[in-house]
Amino acid sequence: MKDSSSFRSGVGRNPFAHELKFTTAEKVKIGLMSVTVFPVRLLLVSFLMLLAWPFAFAAAVGRSEFAVEPQSWWRRFIDLSLRVIMRAMWFCGGFHWILVKGERATPSEAPILTVAPHSSYFDAIPVTMTMCSIVTKLESRSIPVWGTLISYIRPVFVFRSDQDSRRKTVEEIKRRAKSGGMWPQFEGAFIPGLPVQPVILRYPNKLDTVSWTWDGPGAFKILWLTLCQPHNSMEIEYLPTYAPSETERENPALFASNVRRLMAKTLELPLTDLSFEDRDLILSHGPLGVYDHGRLLQFNRLVSRLGLRAGITDKLLEDQARRARKLRVERLGLEEFGLFLNLPVTDTLRQVHNTFDQHGDGRVDIRHFVVALSTTHRPSGSEETLKLAFQMYESEDGSGILEEELAVILGIMLGVEEVEFSAVFGALRRPNTGKITYGELRDVLHRYPNFVLDCLYFRGHPGGSGLSPPQSCNGHKHDKDD
């Protein structure tokens, strides 16, 4: 695959993983707090949440989901009571004071608040302080106690079982945002093309116990560790209202991107184009886990734009591998590539085709595409992808594949280039054949959990710049020309 920006070099920290490391003093402190302060805080937080429930329930009785009732004295009393109770709840949780910077715009000035980064369930704090509406799944309404509190802020519920839910959600957001300030402010929506107010969240604590990621402490552990901190700092910064240009109003994606860039600059954080669907690729593991994510992430986005990602199955990959095997070394032009995938020629298809055009002659080896597709479909299933690759490359007699063929396969799977493993291959291949079988390679992978670092070297390897030979599987250093 052709070169592209690297995840390793482009993002210093994995956004899908969060590892907590404690000093001895911190462990002692958490131990003491766990048997003294934590039970008291947990009891108070639970009590205040239960205390808020009857207020929220009373306000929801007989209320229309599609109209804003006049703010009678008793509704204003309930709103004020809930704000006080929720603030007391966060106080008991260790958020004793919250620094607020800037000035919040009125609903008529900015009907939409865009809050970032969303890294913790403590991000609910500004929601309870502003009582702004959110978009949430319908199932949230069924959560005991908390579901009633969510319903109080008049969210837009998403019906996952309704295929038309996305359109209805967009229409409801537009209706509320264009009400001239009649509805409460809405959190995070660019489709209406109306002014938004960016809101920045910071947790400037020495120990980050609040971040909730895919691979990291679970919800209860985060709650426990956070309640065991003497004090939890939080900052909320309201940036100036951002009014979209005519171009941004017509292009919500551009509007969102520009606001996102502004917020990242204020936060002094790098921008990444990762989505939730990229998590498996980023968190891949095993002896052949993805080493450099840049190329495969870009490929994954292009495949998604082609509409292929949702339809990828093991059966589809096997079918493509069977067809690719018949083509063997025959290389496909752009139109033939489209026919193979049963897709029309588009700019996106051309970009995918160019990704595998190693010789710059407008033709690609379709087997390279199938290996990449299998890798992005099951990033941690390296053995399945290898098995598929051997099926495409191996000759009819099942005698194995050549060293240069395996180097190409591993390069695609790892997201790297110029894979070298001469000494390893020389120790494994059978005399007079120059080939290795899938079974032989699988045995090596099982023996060497750190196969990539111990047995391969390639450009960008941690052993040094350029091509640097690491410790080989034979237990000694080897040179490229061995």
Q: Same domain, yes or no, for 157 and 298? A: no
Is residue 401 domain-shared with residue 268, that is, in the same domain? no
CA torsion angle for 132, 136, 138, 139 (degrees, to 10)? -110
The domain total for the chain is: 2
Whether residue 470 has pLDDT greater than 70:
no
Other beta carbons within 10 angstroms of residue 377's beta carbon come to 21
**256 with 107, same domain?**
yes
Q: Please check whether residues 287 and 407 belong to one and the same domain.
A: yes
374/17: higher pLDDT: 374
Same domain, 451 and 343: yes
Residues 316 and 427 placed together within one structural domain of the fold: yes
pLDDT single digits (tens) 321-363: 999 998 877 889 999 999 999 999 999 999 999 999 988 899 9
Mean pLDDT of the chain: 85
Give 259-297 pLDDT, tens digit per residue. Answer: 999 999 999 988 877 777 788 888 888 778 888 888 899
pTM: 0.78
- Is residue 467 assigned to a domain? no
Pairing of strands 99-101, 435-436: unpaired
294 & 251 share domain: no
Q: Which one of 224, 246, 273 terminates a domain?
A: 273
- Write out the residue range of the structural domain in which residue 448 sits: 280-455
- Which residues does 110 contact at the CB level (< 8 Å), separation at least 6? 185, 194, 195, 196, 197, 241
CB of 26 within 8 A of CB of 207? Answer: yes
Indicate whether 313 and 262 sit together in one domain: no
Predicted confidence band of residue 320 (pLDDT cuts 50, 70, 90)? very high
Same domain, 259 and 335: no
Query: Which is nearest to 317 in space by CA: 330, 305, 308, 329?
Result: 308
Helix axes 366-377, 403-414, angle to 10 degrees: 40
